[in-house]
Structure 1
Amino acid sequence: MIRRRLLACALSGLAPLAVHTTAVAESAAAWPTKPVNIVVSFAPGGATDLVGRVLAKELQAVFKQPFVVINKPGAGGQVGTEYVANQHKGDAYTLLISATGHVMAPSSQSNVKYDPVKSFEPVALLITMPNYLLVRPDHPAKTLPEFMAWAKTQKSIGFGSAGNGGATHLSGELLRHKTGLPFAHVPYQGNGPSMNDVLAGHLPVAISDTVSSASMVSSGKLRPIAVTTAKRSPLFKDVPSLSEAGVKDYDLQNWVGLYFSANVPKPIVERLNKEVVRIMSTEPVRSQMEKMGAESANGYSAARYTQFVGDEVKNWANVFKVTGVQVNQ
């Protein structure tokens, strides 16, 4: 009799949990029941914005609800990111699309009001893209070994980036740290101005992501010497990686990802992940991303992407540490 009572009590205690689990599953199956906002943490026209608009169109077709892109630029993506993290906690109808700065800012800024992992439910990795080391076509070095030999003869090598504390800046600083080459950072307001100064002969080198520099490279106005990933990119097979020049443990890339704020139910996160992964792997979308210089078919689950975000936090924190770069402490 006592055992029966204990068993009955135990089962009655599980009943609310079972009801809650069923309710969450049902809500995930029904989601979304109204329009979904996609906050893009950069201005219109860039890679992050373009990916957001392509994805919004595809998601709207799948879920039969509007997916509305809202641009909230500022502070290298920090404004839009903090907006979603702090004003939309647990909101399954507000998404964030942000870039590599999402995981870099806490290591470079003293006033960041979010945790790259804990403040969010990472949904999916959308695109990845290496940085190019770019020179003018008439640069005396035509190959990566020739460039490294040339660099060793220089007293100072100014390299342009899209701005202080970003991936293009840190890519050059890490190269300086690992090789001892006399790289000197010249920050710009975006990749375009830095590449224009290389084109004009005012600067010997620019470091730019492959999306921003696609038109300059394809037109022959600038020549890529190397990519910043550990291996050659399958999209740019003719461009060697810096590791091929003997730069050990050098592997940096730019990427763009999709997030909910923290506490959105996991079943909703996982359902959206599956659709996003499928969309980004379709031929039309993948081809569109490749044409602009990015890879999209990675197949990461939400759990794998969460791990990726955590690993990138540690990776970039280490880059800031070893290079000694400080932006706003």
Structure 2
Amino acid sequence: MHPISRRAFAIYTGAATLGLAHAQTTFPSKPVILVVPYAPGGPTDAMARTLATALKPKLGDKEPVLVENKAGAGANIGAEYVARAEPDGHTIMFGTSAPLAINVSLYQKIGYDPVSSFTPIIYLGYLPNVLVVHPSLPVRNVQELIAYGKAHPRKLSFASSGSGASSHLAGVQFNQRAGTDFQHVPYKGTGPALNDLLGGQVSMAFTDVLTALPHIKAGKLRVLGVTTAARSRSLPDVPTVMEQGVPDYDVSVFFGIVGPAGMPRDVVQKLNTAFVGILQQPEVRQRLEAQGLAISNEQKPEQLGAFIQSEVKKWREVVRISGARAD
């Protein structure tokens, strides 16, 4: 190489190194906004606030980390807001199955794509669901439920928090995998659905373990199975639906952190490293697990990206079978 060329190359590489170091040390340069696409008060919001509190010191403790709730349209408003934000890492989303996998098939029009509109940062984990029935139903396990349902066609019903919600699609997939014909009864939220199940107006529900657990312990609901591939830490003695003979049945609400498409790689890595560190803190893990989260071991950005693509494909077929649509 010519001496001048060597000198120019050295200046270029030195500048590039300084530029990268500058990018790494100056992020964050303003408050980091963690968008929750749901209203305050639910389990998603609680988990997000746990993470936000622990995130600030991991990013240098110079800039605040703020939770901003942008609810509406089944989480589409918050997701679209993040998709359109500046891709500098200062606006990120605590995403769930709805905006990151289901809504693209459920809604006629949405202003983002779950794969191309976001930069994956970390797959946090999932909230296990459980299949619960009213105690008056004379069944003790999943196979007894299937047999009873087939002996009494179209007599049993399952409640959901709304048409197209994961609690609805879980029932659709169960019918598909088990050959049953349980009737769907949609409600406007988990609370009303659970109230009618507790009152015996509906037969069963596929709901999250955190919501169901107090009623299971009180004997007001009977749990038949866990809907995820692995058993729940909250109910370790309860077998999964798959263990009880329903093939390929794995339903949960998953959680991941994403930012707008086109985020700088070093910023993604800094955020990923921060979140990985948070999830290794015993007190944070305990709090998140108490809030229902089953923490994932697949925490690389590309693992979340691949998982989102697989979930989009899975739920597209389930939504098609359900016939559910939302505007």
Distance 2:139 2:323 in 1: 28
Tell me the CA shift for residue 268 of structure 1.
Answer: 0.9
The 3 A distance-change label for structure 1 pair 245 and 34 is same
Within-5 A mapping of 1:167-246: 167-246=166-245
Distance 2:239 2:188 in 1: 27
Tell me the CA shift for residue 284 of structure 1.
Answer: 1.2
The 3 A distance-change label for structure 1 pair 55 and 192 is same
Distance 2:305 2:10 in 1: 30
Partner of 1:94: 91
Tell me the CA shift for residue 295 of structure 1.
Answer: 1.1
Q: 1:118 aligns with which of 116, 121, 127?
A: 116
Structure 1 range deviating more: 208-217 or 66-75: 208-217
1:69-109 per-residue CA deviation (whole Å, 9 max, x = no partner) reads 110001111110001112x1313211111211021111111
Distance 1:318 1:96 in 2: 26
**Residues 192, 212 of structure 1: 8 Å contact kept:** no
Partner of 1:34: 30
Structure 2's unaligned 5+ residue stretches are none
Q: 1:142 aligns with which of 124, 140, 143?
A: 140
Partner of 2:40: 44
Tell me the CA shift for residue 16 of structure 1.
Answer: 5.5
Partner of 1:75: 73
TM-score by length of 2: 0.90
Among the aligned pairs, what percent are the same residue? 34
Alignment-mate amino acid for residue 152 of structure 1 = K
Q: 2:129 aligns with which of 131, 152, 166?
A: 131
Tell me the CA shift for residue 145 of structure 1.
Answer: 2.5
TM-score by length of 1: 0.90
Structure 1 residue runs of 4 or more that deviate by more than 3 Å after TM superposition: 11-22
Partner of 2:280: 281
Structure 1 range deviating more: 47-56 or 118-127: 118-127
Aligned length: 323
**Residues 214, 293 of structure 1: 8 Å contact kept:** no
Alignment-mate amino acid for residue 86 of structure 2 = K
1:247-294 per-residue CA deviation (whole Å, 9 max, x = no partner) reads 112222111211111122111111111111221232112212222322
Partner of 1:308: 307
**Residues 36, 93 of structure 1: 8 Å contact kept:** yes
* CA RMSD across the alignment: 2.3
**Residues 273, 301 of structure 1: 8 Å contact kept:** yes
1:90-131 per-residue CA deviation (whole Å, 9 max, x = no partner) reads 132111112110211111112111111211111112231222
Distance 2:14 2:157 in 1: 62
Structure 1 range deviating more: 162-171 or 143-152: 143-152
Tell me the CA shift for residue 324 of structure 1.
Answer: 4.2
Alignment-mate amino acid for residue 46 of structure 2 = L
**Residues 100, 254 of structure 1: 8 Å contact kept:** yes
The 3 A distance-change label for structure 1 pair 202 and 21 is farther
Distance 1:266 1:89 in 2: 15
Structure 1's unaligned 5+ residue stretches are none
